[in-house]
Amino acid sequence: MALTSNVFQTVTAVVSTSPTVVYTAPVGYTGVVLLAQVTNISTTTSYDVTFIHRRSATDTELLKTYPISSTDTANLLTGKLVLETGDKLVISGSDGTNLKFVLSVLETLN
């Protein structure tokens, strides 16, 4: 089976209170993150989110305990992020039901 040179992926998740891998760049591809957002669906409470780039055993916080007001959305990146094979994106929040995550990635064949 031939590999496709460009693949678009959309990942959605309810943010957990424990760090959770939401995306891993696949073997042979470079992932270009086009969009990463979290929406706080609570109508009354602000919650925090932490967003991490993980390469091997090294974690780099892109946002750490970033507050998102009730009924608001936060863009987690201000530009594109390039992920090499095996790089991971990890997310966690201060609430396990009211933070909803969406990620849009272009995977391009190396």
Q: How many domains does the chain have?
A: 1
Residue 18, domain member (yes or no): yes
Query: Residue 53 maps to which CATH number?
Result: 2.60.120.340
Residue 69, domain member (yes or no): yes
Residue 1, domain member (yes or no): no
- Cβ(24)–Cβ(84) below 8 Å: no
Residue 22, domain member (yes or no): yes
Residue 70, domain member (yes or no): yes
**What average pLDDT does the segment 81-110 reach?**
97
Residue 74, domain member (yes or no): yes
User: pLDDT-based confidence at 8, cuts 50/70/90?
Assistant: very high
**What average pLDDT does the segment 95-102 reach?**
98
**∠ CA 109-63-59, rounded to 5°:** 60
Neighbours of 36 (CB within 10 A): 23
How does pLDDT run across 37-79, given as a tens digit for each residue? 999 999 999 999 999 999 999 999 999 999 999 999 999 999 9
- pTM (global) more than 0.85: yes
Residue 79, domain member (yes or no): yes
For residue 2, the model assigns a pLDDT of 61
Q: Which domain holds residue 25?
A: 6-109
Alpha-carbon distance of 90 to 87, in angstroms, equals: 10
Residue 36, domain member (yes or no): yes
For residue 83, the model assigns a pLDDT of 98
